[in-house]
Structure 1
């Protein structure tokens, strides 16, 4: 838990997730360039399709066309950097809420970091189980975040977060029901961008609050 009298020194660490997100995006684009090709309905397609390929395709040992996947090491590095960076984000997030409740802050930190730690294992054979575990921890972390945003009257962040939750719900509905599955790769990417944008927004708010102290 960040100490109350150490908020000034924490300001620099708050920006670490921004660096991690930037590195993740760079590595992600690099991985799409390296991906040999293939997607669910067209195994012989060349290269990465922004319309049809999932993020997970970049993490597989073999591409959908059956070739060895040279994008995997880059995508793995991107995933680990993102999870590590967002763990720092969750650690410092209580600073945005001015430490109004230390127990709630600790629960937010633990569940947020555990969610990121679990997500790092998404590349294993236990992909679906890992998603469930990460989602469970993420649910409690997000619940604590929404409570903090509401109490601190950060209205814009609160409602934008609601739109992100709606996108996540649509992702899960399509994933488990298979309805409109053709559109899921695009919806997945839109959701990912929206969530990252919200995190960057919250980091900016945290940093501004620390600078004002």
Structure 2
């Protein structure tokens, strides 16, 4: 009987040793994989597709004459879930974005510019519509997202970044206008149209006519 018990004990001990050996091997393998991960693991190849759903040509006559260029860093921070009026810790989402953009101003439709010649007064009057913002863009190639929260319960979405940047474009327009963008664009437009008109009439029977730019 004692011999049987000893045999059983040796078998159990042998099984335990085998199990411990397997665990040790798995641990060594895991360590090796961790060290070699850059060489053994990676993302699959990218595949980008597109399907055209509409396209057309449209005539425009924009004349942008002044540009406000900016570089900004903005933050987005949402508190997270609330229970009985209290914010649940570690459920918020946030990110920090750096980006470059520009706001341009000038004539939205240059075809609205009208020219009136008065031979009796020897004058050329150029009627010009008021300048306005013609373009407002953030350069996609400059967008860099930093400090993005990694919360599986409340993940940062593409819509968050898109809406954030759209709001920043509106803010940029206000800053540009308040900084004198439209005034500078108006002055520049007047200079360009006057000089262009003077060049056109030079060498003609209207040479020497006074050129006046009038905002309508």
Higher helix share: 1
Structure having the larger proportion of residues in strand = 2
- TM-score of the pair, normalised by structure 1: 0.23
* Structure of greater relative contact order (alpha carbons < 8 Å, 6+ residues apart): 1
Q: Tell me which structure has the larger Cα radius of gyration.
A: 2
